[in-house]
Amino acid sequence: MRLGSLLSWCWVLRLLVLKKSPASAAGTWRRETFSHHAVLDENGKYHLRWKLENTVITFEVEVETRGYVGLGLSPTGSMAQSDMVIGGVANGRPYLKDYNTLNFEGKLNEDHHQDYRLEYGMENKTHTIIAFSRYLNSCDNKDKIITDNTVRVIWAYHPKDVQHNHPQYHSSNRGRKSLHLLNPVVDTSIPSDVLVFEIRHYNVTIPKKDTTYWCQIFKLPDLTKKHHVIRVEPIIQKGHEHLVHHILLYQCHSILNDSILSIGHECYHSNMPDDFFNCESIILAWAIGGKGFSYPSNVGLSLGTSTDPVYVMMEIHYDNVNYQEGYVDSSGLKLLYTPVLRKYDAGVIETGVWVSLYHMIPPNMPSYISQGHCTMECLEEALSQEKASGIHVFAALLHSHLAGRVLRIRHFRNNVEQPLLAHDDEFDFNFQEFRYLKEERVLQPGDSLVTECQYNTTYRSNMTWGGLSTRDEMCLSYLLYYPKIDLSRCESLPEILPQLEFIGVREIIQPIKTWPFIIKSPKKYKDLSFTEAMNKFQWSRKKGREFNSLVQRIEMNVRCAKHNEEEWHVHGIPVSAPSLNPWESKSEMEPVTCRTAWQYSDPLPVLFSLILHIVLATGI
């Protein structure tokens, strides 16, 4: 009797376990809907869809092949040290296995813990579809934890299925793409009455040099009433995806006229037209790897009123790293706008380190942190006069160059640190886009922001300077917010003299007539520019750390600019850097209770053991 009861319970539990298993036959599934989608290859053959439900992320890959498909999460974009899953449909039945390449050779190893769950799979005459899910944190040290940092997704496929438990080499059917897998879901639907305006450079010949900034002024549509831009999309000439690094759109002063419209020229050049200096306030930004950006349903960029821009200047940064000739580019931006107004006007604030040679990073440093301050004094003055109740930040773009590794925006209220406003601990120079905040953040009088950039200059033998080239560095963040106020830039720059005193400079030649300026003493630096003196100094990692500590403590110059040529009163005033504790990484994900090993494998033996324990304890 007792044995019969025990067996009955065992069969019930076994049926419950089997019911939770995914359908293995290709004909027993229902295709799911997904909130996110990306095309991973240039030819449109590999589509990835995904969605997040609590702590489980579900992927679906749709690939133009009848063989196996592979998807991986990589720390660098290469095969080595990656978390991989490979699946397909063979003889009408889907299959899936969890792999890793936890070696520097990139050798594929089957994972002992199969943490990816097959949801469904099918194939037709041309395509294979496989869907699978996993926990964001599987508690397996061979799986990558999925966070809201940039994720380097690697992909591959083959015309043949996996045979003998070992996939054949995928040859050239492979690649990588950086994504933000945990981006919030945002409504990107476009109303039927939307209007379109394109701003494009036409047939710009790209010089044979690594960095070119090209500028041209354009006139916006002549509108008789107010409109709102609700979406911005990049127009990148096919084949130039690697060449166009970023695009900025500046508002110009209304004193301009149409005579300037036909002139394109290198920005920041000695012969640049004077009218270009009348365009200083950034209103739109796009960077490499980014897609189009939709404003929230209650926000739009205002056009058509007396205070809105009539003329704008578009700046495109071309990154011709291989010094190729013959590039002729016609890239730009597409603005989608509507007469149906939204509640708020959007604005953008540039924060971080003022771009200058005074921002410098020593060579051979595995970790060096620059800090750009949007000071309490600047925000206090601007917000108190413009919007004392505060502004709502809804998206941010973090911007650095090749040495950037970790970027974050720290938020302080009356000197008390708040949760991070935005961050990326796995920053990818080739993937920079506006990211929606999970929750809007209010900035109010008494607040301050610090944009922190962590750099790695291990393989550089000279100083890295703040500048425009991708081999130079920047440390910036762009904040999208509402309602719009008269504040375009809120930045800082460390004073130069304490930095020079660190390397032993005693005197510079006055008055300053050259740039970079010249050192007068001591003798070892005499007649050298300050950049040459910095490079001559014998840097060590110990000296680099000491220099980093010094720069974070010295006085800084504040940039607090309005949308026209005017500045707020605190602009240009040196202030003491606030004393900040080093940032300590804290996971913003919910705590995870890691499962025991049996939960990764067949749970039935453990269930039988539990039932036996109950039987013995209760005397059934």
Q: Give the residue numbers marked as catalytic.
A: 213, 399
Contacts of 610 (CB under 8 A, 6+ apart): none
Q: How far apart are CA 473 and CA 399, in angstroms?
A: 10
Query: Within 13 Å of residue 356, how many CA atoms lie on the same side as its CB?
Result: 19
Residue whose entry in the numeric block shows the structure tokens 């003889």: 91
The Cβ of residue 253 has, within 10 Å, a number of other Cβ atoms equal to 17
Q: How far apart are CA 110 and CA 98, in angstroms?
A: 6
Task: Say whether the peptide bond before residue 511 is cis (omega within 30 degrees of 0).
Answer: yes
Q: Which residues pair with 329 in a beta bridge?
A: 204
Residue 85 phi/psi, 5-degree rounding, is -135, 135
Residue whose entry in the numeric block shows the structure tokens 């704008």: 312
Residue whose entry in the numeric block shows the structure tokens 């450079």: 201
Q: How far apart are CA 225 and CA 218, in angstroms?
A: 20
Nearest to 422 by CA among 588, 551, 178, 289: 588
- Give the total residue count for the chain: 620
Q: Which residues pair with 212 in a beta bridge?
A: 318
Q: For residue 313, what are its two tokens?
A: 């200047």
What beta strand segments (E) does 7-90 contain?
36-39, 46-53, 56-63, 69-74, 83-90
The Cβ of residue 282 has, within 10 Å, a number of other Cβ atoms equal to 19
Rounded to whole angstroms, what are the CA distances from 133 to 51, 84, 95, 445, 618?
10, 13, 13, 45, 39
